[in-house]
Amino acid sequence: MTQTASDSALSADGEQRRFASLDPRTGEVVAHHPIHTAAEVEDAVASAREAATWWAGLGFEGRKTKLDAWRRILSQRADEFISLISSETGKPADDSRVEITLVLDHLHWAARHAGRVLGKRRVSSGMLMVNHSASVEYLPLGVVGVIGPWNYPAHTPMGSISYALAAGNAVVFKPSEFTPGVGTFLASTFAEAVPEYPVFQVVTGFGETGAALCAAGVDKIAFTGSTRTGKKVMAAAAATLTPVLVECGGKDALIVDSDADLTAAAEAAIWGAVSNAGQTCAGVERVYVAEDVADEFIEIVVKRAKKLKPGGEPNAHLGPITMPSQVEIIREHVRDALDRGGKALVGGPDSIRPPYVEPVVLADVPEDSLAVTEETFGPTVVINRVPNALEGVRLANRSKYGLGAAVFSKSRGEELAKELRVGMVSINSVLTYAAVPGLPFGGVGDSGFGRIHGDDGLREFSFARAVTKRKFASVINMATYDRSSMAGRQMMRLARVLFGR
């Protein structure tokens, strides 16, 4: 059976309106899912609130036991999970395997490190307050609403979900309308491991369901998607002063220095641009290569890119474009680049044959072209020559986005990395930071703000509570109206000795 998502939105099942998730390779229905109404989303948040109290009460060790049990279920059912991710996104099985590997790694890390990062710890009370002890601990916010994308339907939202749960929050997750089955699979396997309370729930539907989640009184919203929708989410959250974490797109650059290992740089450029059919927020969309090595670098890129073919088979190099409307954006960017004098070194407008797009390598594209300024989100890459790597860094930094970047250089990778205005940099590789659970993930500018992963990702889903406890009376006590007239002068003298030099 073949139908479009919008047709299927009208299909009814009793009172519950449903929609279909489709396999983008074939257009066939994978499964039907409810279109949850605002009232249903509110109910989910209300039951999550009760669950949150129980979940927080388990403490770090109790939650770790439960999250470890969930991780084992996900691992045991990996084949089913891989097939579901591939069905809803169209991505080759190996890309789904990479995603699940990252899901397991991050879930393991978050559960294991939450106590260390968020648990109560002593803080020096300083010389002036030496008669007090001081401590800080990080408490769960309550209920976190997670709104996720379709490109990495498991790994990306789990960057929020795993860390929010480990920090002691309940979660209500709205997956993308293109990947509701993956979200439902995550929540149903969690319920197997934690049957007591609805600590992690899924609500499915379209943008309205996501908007309803923003208005349902959650304590934080973690959003991943476009900058445009990110702004809408932030505006909705402002009405209730609800904090937001906004992970948006990017226009990530790879800089190739004169002394770089060109084979490694070319391989990384191609993989970073084409894997997951280019639908990676931190994928490589621009390359700035030093003029003196540009010809050799481009030759290797072209040779390798020509070998890559899209398809629906499990072992294809790249799958289809998951979201049909994205195809027109890719077409527009390629056309605009060529109209403005850019060259197509591999592929071109004819490479765009929905639902597939063959790799497209463009060169010498003007810096004000759409393919350089806007997120393309397809298996395309722009390679522009620069006099030297520092000029590449300067152009990389001109983007309104600032998610990630990569630098290939034998002698000065760190020096160049330091100059990049982005949240993450890989030196002599691409995207590696996303696979290191201890590192924070997120960007600046139009790429959003807030961090998932790592210590910062755990703190993102908590609030700090600071406590002081008086140990003994101070010789100079300023916090009383019984203080002597000398006390203020003595305090000032002490402050000058301690901090005045």
* Tokens linked to 331: 């077409």
Q: Give the H or E element holding residue 102.
A: helix 93-118
* Nearer Cβ to ligand NDP (389/396): 396
- Examine residue 214 and tell whether it contacts ligand NDP (CB under 6 A): yes
Using CB under 6 A as the criterion, what x/- string covers residues 131-150 for binding ligand NDP?
----------------xxxx
* Nearer Cβ to ligand NDP (168/457): 457
DSSP sequence for 223-244: EES-HHHHHHHHHHHHTTT--E
Provide, rounded to whole angstroms, the least separation between the CB of residue 242 and ligand NDP.
12
* Nearer Cβ to ligand NDP (168/249): 249
> What are the backbone angles phi and psi of residue 415, rounded to the nearest 5°?
-60, -45
Q: Which positions from 370 through 389 interact with ligand NDP, judged by CB under 6 A?
A: 375, 377
Q: Give the H or E element holding residue 469.
A: strand 462-470
Give the single-character DSSP code of 372: H
- Examine residue 159 and tell whether it contacts ligand NDP (CB under 6 A): no
DSSP sequence for 395-428: HHTTSSEESEEEEE-SS-HHHHHHT--SSEEEES
- Examine residue 275 and tell whether it contacts ligand NDP (CB under 6 A): no
Give the single-character DSSP code of 278: G
* Tokens linked to 472: 């003994």
Q: Which stretch binds ligand NDP (CB under 6 A): 34-42, 118-126, 172-180, 404-412?
A: 172-180
* Nearer Cβ to ligand NDP (81/223): 223
Count interface residues toward ligand NDP (CB under 6 A). Answer: 28
248 is a catalytic site residue: no
Torsion-angle region of 35 (φ positive above 0: left; ψ -120 to 50: alpha; else: beta): beta
* Tokens linked to 263: 């084979």
- Marked catalytic residue, from 99, 247, 375, 460: 247
- Examine residue 177 and tell whether it contacts ligand NDP (CB under 6 A): yes
- Examine residue 206 and tell whether it contacts ligand NDP (CB under 6 A): yes
Cβ neighbour number for residue 312 with a 10 Å cutoff: 16
Provide, rounded to whole angstroms, the least separation between the CB of residue 447 and ligand NDP.
8
* Nearer Cβ to ligand NDP (197/449): 449
Distance separating alpha carbons of residues 359 and 305, to the nearest angstrom: 6
Provide, rounded to whole angstroms, the least separation between the CB of residue 370 and ligand NDP.
12
Distance separating alpha carbons of residues 278 and 281, to the nearest angstrom: 9
Cβ-contact 92, 312 below 8 angstroms:
no
Q: Counting beta carbons within 10 angstroms of the beta carbon of residue 492, is it exposed (0 to 12), middle (13 to 18) or buried (19 or more)?
A: exposed
Which residue of 181, 183, 225, 347 would you call a contact of ligand NDP, by CB under 6 A?
225
Provide, rounded to whole angstroms, the least separation between the CB of residue 225 and ligand NDP.
3
Cβ neighbour number for residue 472 with a 10 Å cutoff: 8
* Nearer Cβ to ligand NDP (232/483): 232
Using CB under 6 A as the criterion, what x/- string covers residues 228-267 for binding ligand NDP?
-x--xx-------------xxx------------------
Note the residues at the interface with ligand NDP (CB under 6 A).
147-151, 156, 174, 176-177, 206-207, 210-211, 214, 224-226, 229, 232-233, 247-249, 281, 323, 326, 375, 377
Catalytic residue numbers read: 247, 281
